[in-house]
Every structure is written in C-alpha cells, then in structure tokens.
Structure 1
Amino acid sequence: MKVVSLVLRVMPEQIPTARSGLEQVPGVQVHAEDFDAGRMIVTVEDGEGYSVADSIIAAHRVPQVLSATLAYEFNGEIVEELDPARVPPQPATGVQPCH
C-alpha cells in the first residue's frame, strides 16, 4: 500500500470546482481546504488498476490546480529483518568511531 499527501495551490474562488475534479481521480480524497490561502490538502492512495503516480499526475492536471507539492509519502512495505543487501551505503562523514 502506498499513500501520499499533497498540498495543492488553487485560486480561492476555484476551490469548489477543483474539489469536484479531484474527487473524480481514483484514490484521491480531499481532507482540508483553506479558502484564504488557496490551498487544499489531499491524500492519494493506490488501488486496483491505478498507481499513486498516475493519480498524482491526474490530480495535477485538474484545470484549477496551479501546483502540487508532495508533503508526505508512505510505502506500506514492511521489512521484517534488516537485510544488508537492501541497505544503501552511507556517505563518509569524516567522524571516526570511538574505541
């Protein structure tokens, strides 16, 4: 399961129309609207037959949406054991370990 939240910028007077368009996008749910600032908070969840990426693109293409900023991303994949092969190498910090 993948879920992201987005902050959308919309002209304040166009928020109701944007809401209608966003509600047509699979996996999108509107959680908050700030009419004074022209912002909307939405979540996008993946589902059968569509991906989060597809829905983000579709939400950004709603004509009233001026911009979309990714605020949070969750991937429901849980790694039971720490597999060294899956851990990316860490950059050198110049800090020496204490002995």
Structure 2
Amino acid sequence: MNIASLVVRAKPENFARLETQYRDIPGVEVHARCERGGHMVVTVEDGEGYATSDSILAVSTAEHVLSVTLAYEYTDEGLELQEA
C-alpha cells in the first residue's frame, strides 16, 4: 500500500475544473479546499494497474495547478517480518 497527501495550490475559480480532472486520475480524492488561501488537500492511493507516482504526476501537471507540495507519504512495502 502506498498513500500520499498533497497540498495543491490553484486559483479558487479553477477548483471545480481541477476536481473534475482529478476524478479521472486513479486513486485520487479531494478532501478539502480553502478558497481563501487557494489550497486543496488531495490524497493519492495506489491500486491494481497504476502507481502512486503516476497519479501524483498527473495531479501536478493538471491544467490550472500552480504548485503541489507533498505533505505526507506512507508505504508498507519492505515491512515484511524478518526472522532474527
């Protein structure tokens, strides 16, 4: 499992367009928006047939995005129990 949380900066008048674009990106969900500050909180989760990194890139390069900050990332890859 891979999960990332992003803060997307954009002009508030473009939020609706961005949310529409983000619905088409696998594993992406918009959780909050602050029109006053021009921020959106977005999570990206991996799934079968796509990687988190591809979805993060798609979020970052979407039309009307001014900047994206990676706020949090989690992976459970490599956490298998090891024998002592």
Show CA shifts across 1:33-87 (max 9, x none).
001111000000011111010000011111011111000000023242487xxxx
CA RMSD of aligned residues (A): 1.5
Distance 1:40 1:51 in 2: 21
Match of 2:62 in 1: 62
SS for the counterpart of 2:25 is coil
The residue type paired with residue 36 of structure 1 is R
The 5 Å alignment of 1:42-81 reads 42-77=42-77, 78-81=79-82
Higher relative contact order (CA 8 A, sep 6+): 2
SS for the counterpart of 1:13 is helix
The answer for unaligned runs of 5 or more in structure 1 is 84-99
More strand by share: 2
The answer for unaligned runs of 5 or more in structure 2 is none
Q: 1:82 to 1:30 in 2, by over 3 A?
A: farther
TM-score after normalising by structure 2: 0.90
The residue type paired with residue 2 of structure 2 is K
Identity of aligned residues (%): 45
Q: Give structure 1 regions of 4+ aligned residues with deviation exceeding 3 angstroms.
A: none
Distance 2:71 2:65 in 1: 16
Distance 2:65 2:83 in 1: 41
SS for the counterpart of 1:80 is coil
Distance 2:68 2:59 in 1: 8
| Rg (Cα) greater in structure | 1
Number of corresponding residues: 83
Match of 1:27 in 2: 27
TM-score after normalising by structure 1: 0.77
